Structure 1
Amino acid sequence: MFGNGKFVGAARTFGAALVAIAAFGFGPTGTAHADTFIPLPGGTITRELADGTTLTVRLDGESAKISGSMGSTPMHRNVWVNGRASVDLAGPSAQGSTIKISPGYVVGCQVDIGALSSSGGGTGEGDTGAGTVTPSGSLGAGITLGPGQAVSRLMLDLEKPDDYGMESHKRYNKVPGPRASVTWVDETFSVDGCGGYAQARTFVMAEVDTSNFIGNVVLWGTPFSMG
């Protein structure tokens, strides 16, 4: 758990690579001011797994609120985000499977993160481009970016003892099917060092583990301007 928000439900974060096409010089669509509220449409994606089980990933209730720093420094933004990610299974493996669900955000400075897509069978990998964005760290730790850079941050950091009773941090929770969800309310993060146009975008990574196979899907949210 991080930031000042609240999580409802169960989820897991796992370190799969996300691939972005870097398009430098992507122009701004607007300038963020204090308390700029941005409603976002969310989305859904459905895929049929190997044994005929249907996997549906949804993102709804999504929004962002953007503000600059107290000193009105253009290189700093504060962001508060809300949303709900869910996974639903229907079919042969719906009851006996394990669901792993992981929301996060990609943030870019003068990079077209809108080039990310769920093409390629719904894996979210899209076309291989000039930039590779790999999830690392937690969203609440803050993000420092320069022009042409993009990073992907994960939303979960769950503390639990390991097999020897020592403290460990897991980025996942195993949830039995057929349904899992995670909700975040007023989770906050900051972006520093980007003097140009900045964007952010939600992603939801879902994995279904059965006794015979593993299925993966990534759902991308709509990019939004941070000014």
Structure 2
Amino acid sequence: MSVIKKSVVRAASLAAASVAAVGLFSTGAANADTFVPLPGAELNHTLPNGLSITARIANESATINPSLGSTPLHRNTWVSGSAQVEVHGPHKGTKITPGYVVGCQVDISGGAGNGGAGLTQSGENLSGNLSSGANLTLGPGQATSFLLLDIEKPDVYGDEGHTFAVKFTGKDGSVTWTDSTIGLNGCAGYAQARSFVRVETTTEQGISEFRVWGQPFSIG
């Protein structure tokens, strides 16, 4: 189950782009699930108006099954983590948008699905669904990204609308996900994934946005 909570939120972080992807599998263990703890990241970002924001990716991990269906063209990964953001001063609203980049035989160290758990956020009257992840098809040299959140809420005309971020107006906010799925098909070579969190803050001077990146990890 994934839960969005407005507790001590410390936001996403810009992981060091120089971190190399981590190989996970040894000969003879290709069909075993592999649990991979990940270091997360932290970024202290200052907006042009001087407002300071701390963003973190925390408690991040992946559980990897390198070959669903006993073929190297199919992989399945369950990812967990928390995007935490703290705004050190007045703002008119900050949005947290978590997601992942997935690549097949391509370097994603530079930062280049649905159904699942219930979603709640205390104090914001927000409810909806947290996406369980994505089912992707990629060939060699291809990369794509997907967002974890898909929250249904009426638009200004009362029709069904969707938002992919959580917004808070206090000093902190967070999004936590557990066992969201990354399913990958069609990639015959090595594959990697990498978390990111987009942070967008609105102030009297305008809207500012930055991203925090987790460490790339192998998914087989």
Residue of structure 1 equivalent to 2:94 = 99
Secondary structure, aligned partner of 1:71: helix
Contact kept in structure 2, 1:109 and 1:197, CA below 8 Å: yes
Q: Distance in 2 between matches of 1:66 and 1:105?
A: 15
Q: Percent identity?
A: 50
How big is each residue's C-alpha offset from its partner over 1:40-93, in whole Å with a ceiling of 9 and x where there is no partner? 000101111122211111011000000134431111111101101111111xxx
1:6 equivalent in alignment to 2:2: yes
User: Unaligned regions of 5+ residues in structure 1, if any?
Assistant: 11-25, 118-137
Alpha-carbon RMSD: 2.2
1:214 equivalent in alignment to 2:212: no
1:146 equivalent in alignment to 2:142: no
Count of aligned pairs: 185
TM-score, normalised by the number of residues in structure 1: 0.75
How big is each residue's C-alpha offset from its partner over 1:136-161, in whole Å with a ceiling of 9 and x where there is no partner? xx772411000000001111111011
Q: Which amino acid aligns with 2:36?
A: I
1:86 equivalent in alignment to 2:84: yes
Deviates more, 1:46-55 or 1:183-192: 46-55
User: Unaligned regions of 5+ residues in structure 2, if any?
Assistant: 7-19, 113-130
Q: Which amino acid aligns with 2:74?
A: H
1:108 equivalent in alignment to 2:103: yes
How big is each residue's C-alpha offset from its partner over 1:165-222, in whole Å with a ceiling of 9 and x where there is no partner? 2212122233103211100011112000001000000011101101212222211100
Residue of structure 2 equivalent to 1:63 = 61
Secondary structure, aligned partner of 1:114: coil
Residue of structure 1 equivalent to 2:124 = none
TM-score, normalised by the number of residues in structure 2: 0.77
Q: Distance in 1 between matches of 2:22 and 2:166?
A: 38
Q: Work out which of the residue numbers 34, 37, 62 in structure 2 matches 1:36.
A: 34
Q: Per-residue deviation at 1:115?
A: 2.7
Q: Per-residue deviation at 1:30?
A: 4.3
Q: Which amino acid aligns with 1:226?
A: I
Q: Distance in 2 between matches of 1:102 and 1:173?
A: 7
Secondary structure, aligned partner of 2:143: strand
Q: Distance in 2 between matches of 1:141 and 1:60?
A: 21
